[in-house]
Amino acid sequence: MMLKPVWIYLENGVFLEAKSFGFEGSKTGEIVFNTSLSGYQEIMSDPSYAGQFIVFTMPEIGIVGTNDNDMESSTIYASGMFVRSLNETPSNFRSQKSLPEFLKQHKSMGICDIDTRYLTKMIRDSGPKMMIASTEVSDPEKLKAMLASSPRIEEVNYIEKVSTPKSYVHDHGVWNAETQSYNATPKRLGKKILAVDLGIKHNILNELYEVGLDVEVVPHNFSGDDAIARYKKGEIHGVFLSNGPGDPLILKSEAAEVKKLIDAKVPMFAICLGHQLLSIAHGYPTYKLKFGQHGGNHPVKNTKSNIVEITTQNHNYNVPDSICKIAKITHVNLFDNTIEGLEYNDAPIFSVQHHPEASSGPQESRYIFQEFANRL
């Protein structure tokens, strides 16, 4: 496979040349790094990465190829990926497409033959940067001008792009490696929830169904009043707020609807962006971390059990410490002591910042889905 050159310009003035193996053209986005050792397909198809270029610290990427069953959404919303070395030929019986074919199909850029350690250290030291990558334009001044005229990631409402346009029912559990299929009929509890799609991952829905909950997925612009009416009638037993991309402070209308649910004391559970949205709806705005948390090996302490769980993380924003005035901290990130989980004092609401669905990643926090089911 002949790899074409690609030119990269970052907002701090860094200009680089590498090789392209995915979509050809020009794309802008925010560059972040991910420390996971596996699961690149699940990471790339996670809607939470919309508008971002992901630098993989794992040096060899592509060996297991890609397949339809490991998708976390219907497409790739990430702008692209950086890898040190590309494995063009997959070696896995489940593979249906190579990584280059996969990226081209979903119009996402692939960049290789570049020093990913250098990029990771730069992001670690000075934070994520807006950047542009192009297989068409090589002049750094032109790239600088193109980047300057593009919107920044915090200025774009990516939720409108990644959320489902209409409601639907999710009706299967997690992937079963022995049967090579999804669990179709886990034990049912007779409890139904609404899952608000802010960029939801497929495996979150799988886990919710797996613990016995009936799951109806609704768009980001759902009606809080309608959800409250259905809860009072006994049609639903709670609401789940999903993960998703972008700056949570831009979601003013969504926060207003969530506030209605809070006031009505509707039971809620939230992950990642949903966790942040709950904080905002309670009157505690989020803030941006220096370089975010992205990876599958982050230690989090459960303050109830004092057990340290190894978790999957994917967020650039965090809830403020001042939220302790209205909520108890249930989980703490041991890398930077930021809040990873909350239980609100005056309502049946709790949330976590990390990803207990573990796709990809460790499964030590998977119990949280059962905890949600037990509370309804």
Residue range 354-368, pLDDT digits in tens: 999 988 888 999 999
| pLDDT tens per residue, range 35-52 | 999 999 999 999 999 999
Catalytic residue among 237, 254, 355, 364: 355
- The answer to whether residue 177 scores a pLDDT higher than 80 is no
Residue 355: active-site member: yes
Q: Is the pLDDT of residue 277 over 90?
A: yes
Cβ-contact 286, 249 below 8 angstroms: yes
Bridge partners of 213? 191
Q: Where are the alpha helices (DSSP H) in 48-135?
A: 99-105, 116-126
According to DSSP, the β-strands at 181-182 and 175-176 are: antiparallel
Q: Is 17 a catalytic residue?
A: no
What per-residue confidence (pLDDT) applies to 359? 84
| pLDDT for 14 | 98
Across the chain, mean pLDDT equals 96
Q: Which residue has the tokens 């990516």?
A: 158
Length of the chain: 376
Please enumerate in sequence order all residues whose Cβ is within 8 A of that of 95, keeping only pairs 6 or more positions apart, or say none: 64, 65, 66, 67
Which of 254, 309, 357, 364 is labelled catalytic? Answer: 357
Q: How far apart are CA 206 and CA 181, in angstroms?
A: 12
Average pLDDT over residues 196-213: 96
Q: What is the mean pLDDT of residues 19-35?
A: 97
pLDDT at 185 over 90: no
pLDDT (tens digit, 9 = 90+) per residue, 159-168? 999 999 999 9
Among 308, 309, 291, 286, CA closest to 355:
309
pLDDT(182) > 90: no
pLDDT at 339 over 90: yes
| DSSP state string for 186-243 | PPP-SEEEEEE-SS--HHHHHHHHHTTEEEEEE-TT--HHHHHHHHHTTS--EEEE--
Percent of the chain with pLDDT over 90: 93
CB atoms within 10 A of CB 274: 29
- In this prediction, residues 274-289 reach a mean pLDDT of 98
- In 3D, which of 345, 349, 304 has the Cα closest to residue 324? 345
Q: How big, in percent rounded to 5, are the helix, strand and coil portions of the chain?
A: 25, 30, 40
Quickly state the pLDDT bin for 179 (edges 50, 70, 90): confident
Domains, the chain, with CATH or none: 4-154 (3.50.30.20), 159-375 (3.40.50.880)
Region 116-123: mean pLDDT is: 97
Confidence of residue 180 (pLDDT cuts 50, 70, 90): confident
Q: To the nearest whole percent, how much of the chain has pLDDT over 70?
A: 100
- Considering the candidates 210, 220, 272, 282, report the single residue annotated as catalytic: 272
Kindly report, residue by residue over 306-335, the tens digit of the pLDDT. Answer: 999 999 999 999 999 999 999 999 999 999
> What's the pLDDT band for 176 if we cut at 50, 70, 90?
confident
Backbone angles phi, psi at 89, to 5 degrees: -105, 110
- Per the annotation, the verdict on 357 as an active-site residue is yes
Q: What is the pLDDT of residue 358?
A: 81
pLDDT value for 158? 96
